[in-house]
Amino acid sequence: MRTMIDLGSQRGSLYIIDTATAVDCTKDVRFRRSFRSLIECMVPCCSFQLSSNASDIGDSDSTHGSSTPTPTTVTGTFFGYRRGRVRFCVHDNSRAAPLLLLEFTVPTAFLAKEMQHGLLRIALECRGASAPCASLFAVPAWSMYCNGRKVGFAIRRQMTEADAAIFKLIKSISVGTGVLPGAPKTGDGDLLYLRASFERVIGSMDSESFHMIDPVGSTGQQLSIFLLRT
């Protein structure tokens, strides 16, 4: 059984409202409810144990440069098999090839459990001594912090044929969550995904961040990812 929830195309194009006006929050409520339902499907499988190390990197917004950064909007996709690892991909839009594809060394169910609390800040940190002028998207490995706690690593990946097949299936989904059937022989379970628009903020050549935008245009930053080279 395949379930897809596309909130970007249910009622025409998705418009960002930046002026004072009356807002119909039905789409926002649908998004939150579908997101919550997806998380509830994933959480029972979670058995991941947190590391005892802690860091306040995920609780700080000071990764930007001193000058005012210029935000742009990109598409971000979290996806992973129920009993596998979660991946995060950044695209220019839902039909474009990945600009960045990362695999997190944490189970999909663990990340979903963290999302239950309503605030998820993922901070990825790397050392810049080896290649200080390289693009952040070219960094091969990151230390990963989730809501201030070190939980593992993030590894940059090249897109595989399997990844391309997944992106092809969901290319028409601009905003939404869903469940796709997994290969029965792998034992990894169903594939779960979350796709949304993200505000990309480039603070400097050593810092970027991505903040999920609600369907009605709000940037409450309840789900944010920070890239920091030190």
pLDDT in tens, 123-140: 999 987 556 668 999 999
Per-residue pLDDT tens over the stretch 55-102: 444 444 444 444 566 679 999 999 999 888 999 999 999 889 999 999
Q: Average pLDDT over the chain, rounded to whole?
A: 75
Please state, in angstroms and rounded to a whole number, the distance separating the CA atoms of residues 8 and 11: 8
Reported pTM? 0.69
Please state, in angstroms and rounded to a whole number, the distance separating the CA atoms of residues 114 and 59: 14
Burial 61-92 (b: 16+ CB within 10 A, else e): eebbeeeeeeeeebbbbbbbbbbbbbbbbbbe
The band of 50, judged by pLDDT with boundaries at 50, 70 and 90, is very low
pLDDT value, residue 108: 84
pLDDT value, residue 23: 41
In which region does residue 43 sit, left (phi positive, over 0), alpha (psi from -120 to 50) or beta (all else)?
A: alpha
Average pLDDT over residues 190-215: 91
Token reading at 44: 């029972």
C-alpha distance from residue 43 to each of 33, 36, 61 (Å):
15, 10, 28
Q: Looking at per-residue confidence, does 148 or 21 come out higher?
A: 148
Q: Is 109 helix (H, G, I), strand (E, B) or coil?
A: helix
pLDDT value, residue 2: 53
Token match 């080896």: residue? 130
pLDDT value, residue 85: 92
pLDDT value, residue 18: 42
Average pLDDT over residues 191-220: 85
Please state, in angstroms and rounded to a whole number, the distance separating the CA atoms of residues 77 and 130: 29
Q: Which of 54, 99, 59 is nearest to 202 (CA)?
A: 99
- Is the model's pLDDT at 224 over the cut of 90? yes
Q: For the packed helices 108-115 and 26-42, what is the interaxial angle rounded to 10 degrees?
A: 140
The band of 114, judged by pLDDT with boundaries at 50, 70 and 90, is confident
Q: Is 130 helix (H, G, I), strand (E, B) or coil?
A: coil
Q: Looking at per-residue confidence, does 4 or 177 come out higher?
A: 177
